[in-house]
Structure 1
């Protein structure tokens, strides 16, 4: 298993959790973004710079991930592509995307996109809370335990 991170919009606090988990569990962590940022020095943690452009980082991740890989993303269309390819997707607030829930999430996202396109203000997500951070850490640990038990 590799962990791929849609890193452009990933909160710093979530990246910090991922850095620690990669080292603790000896799992390859690949952060993909359009803009370079510093990462800890580790043979387990790498940065992949995606070309500039809409969905370029998403496309890099979707094209390179393998079945069983984990992708950290808040991007619902990317999560749908990951699930379709047999990967696992986890958002920064701890929600695990699956075959059972991804179609509903994609439909809701499309509905809100339509509202925004018609000039209706829908608001954005709230800031990351301590509860969100804990939910993410718990879900990540759960997925990593499942992976270890299969290996």
Structure 2
């Protein structure tokens, strides 16, 4: 059985929200991306993608869905995210051997011997795996802080 080791170092400062923490942890777990310009770009594209994905299904001018379906909307945002993740996967493939310990989900998928998992499918899956973490993780962090502050003995 393969050994998987996931290490998360998240840079925190006073102005970081739960959403930002969750996104940093999410991209670190999926593709080992550290905070920086690429992470900010990915976050911006992901927010645009999510805004279009979670909107009323009314395609009339001025609606969120209509804006998202425009040239720089939903599909373009996902395409840009997939391109960035694909670039990261290509770099991972060049810089490592098969015997290396997996550090993130992308490494686990890259170590899979299946011919069905190509780089495009892995890139798409990384983006798709970000969707559940968009709202659930920040809510979970908020609830954890609330309940721990209500019961200091648990700390």
Bucket of the pairwise TM-score, normalised by the shorter protein: under 0.3
Structure with the larger helix share: 2
| Structure-1-length-normalised TM-score | 0.26
Q: Larger RCO: Structure 1 or Structure 2 (Cα < 8 Å, ≥ 6 residues apart)?
A: 2
